[in-house]
Amino acid sequence: MTDVSLGIPQMPAPDYPADVRARLESDAREVIARYPGSRSALLPLLHLVQSEEGHVTRTGIRFCAEMLDLTTAEVTAVSTFYTMYRRKPSGDYQVGVCTNTLCAVMGGDAIFDELKQHLGVGNDETTGDGKVTLEHIECNAACDFAPVVMVNWEFFDNQTPESAKALVDDLIAGREVRPTRGAPLCTYKETARILAGFPDTREGAVEASGGAGPASLAGLRLHRGEAQGRVVGQRAESPGDGATYGTPSPAEHASSHDAPRQTAESDPAHPADPVADNAAEEEGE
């Protein structure tokens, strides 16, 4: 086999030991049976092979290709596209610091810098004991809890450099760590198996499967008339308790975003009727 891009001969990827292969094949068949087309099972199968070795190896790529009747090039293309698939050995705990705009200005950049110093690693690097891999992450839609840190994709909200350093210290020391929302943490390999679609047996995992926080729900509560607030101009102003924000009454809605309007009403000079327009144009031809 030759790596065409580099012209370097490559050895074929080694196979799994027979017992591992048999176990993975059984699991893979269970996953594949959930989909009308086998290739649709590629993403969970990549998580499955990650649960075995902690990252997607050439052996894992070959396994997925054989199970799904794909080429190794096709599997490689998918596995290198998504950041949730790791391409090299990494730590038991993937510590991601959100450094997207909102988290960054709320302290995410400072947290990341302090963790680099504290752990002695850079981005996408792993501590010498193999416990923690540090990385930047993009926005995880938890901006109302900024700055956010994620460990194996479980949320740790409203972090500070101090709390984040205590967090990684506990991970390295093997002390139990509970995310702000969700079940107790498990290792990266255990997380990968859950993401492959196998049952999450962690105590409290179902009950604590997450939910929106008060800040996220403020708009919904306002929409339902369950919250009140003051309004300055067309902008809502915090009532001061940090929990709810003001909104005009429905009759006072000034923004076109508040309620959909018919195009013909809002722009009577240009009634929108593409079917009629098209018909008229066709008649004129």
Residues forming the site for ligand FES (CB under 6 A): 98, 100, 102-103, 139-140, 142-143, 146, 148
CA nearest neighbour of 148 among 75, 190, 97: 97
Closest distance between ligand FES and the C-beta of residue 58, in Å? 34
Q: Which is nearer to ligand FES, 139 or 166 (CB)?
A: 139
Shortest Å, Cβ 17 to ligand FES = 41
Pick 46 or 150: Cβ nearer ligand FES: 150
Cβ atoms of 72 and 62 within 8 Å: the answer is yes
Q: How far is the CB of 111 from ligand FES (least distance, A)?
A: 11
Residue 141 CB, nearest approach to ligand FES (Å): 6
Q: How far is the CB of 95 from ligand FES (least distance, A)?
A: 14
Q: Which is nearer to ligand FES, 93 or 156 (CB)?
A: 156
Measured between alpha carbons, how far is 175 from 188 in angstroms, rounded to an integer? 16
Which residues are paired to 181 by β-bridges? 155
- Specify the DSSP class assigned to residue 91: -
Residue carrying the six token digits 């596209």: 81
**Residue 84 Cβ, how far from ligand FES at the closest point, in Å?**
16
Residues β-bridged to residue 136: 97
| Nearest of 203, 209, 249 to residue 225 by alpha carbon | 249
Is 91 or 107 the residue whose CB approaches ligand FES more closely? 107
Quick one: 141 or 259, whose CB is closer to ligand FES? Answer: 141
H-type alpha helices, the chain: 18-32, 42-53, 58-68, 72-79, 101-103, 109-119, 161-173, 188-195, 214-223, 263-266, 274-284
Q: At what angle do helices 188-195 and 42-53 cross, to 10 degrees?
A: 160
CB 202 within 8 A of CB 186: yes
Q: In this complex, which beta carbon is closest to ligand FES, that of residue 127 or of residue 152?
A: 152
Three-class secondary structure of residue 181 per DSSP: strand
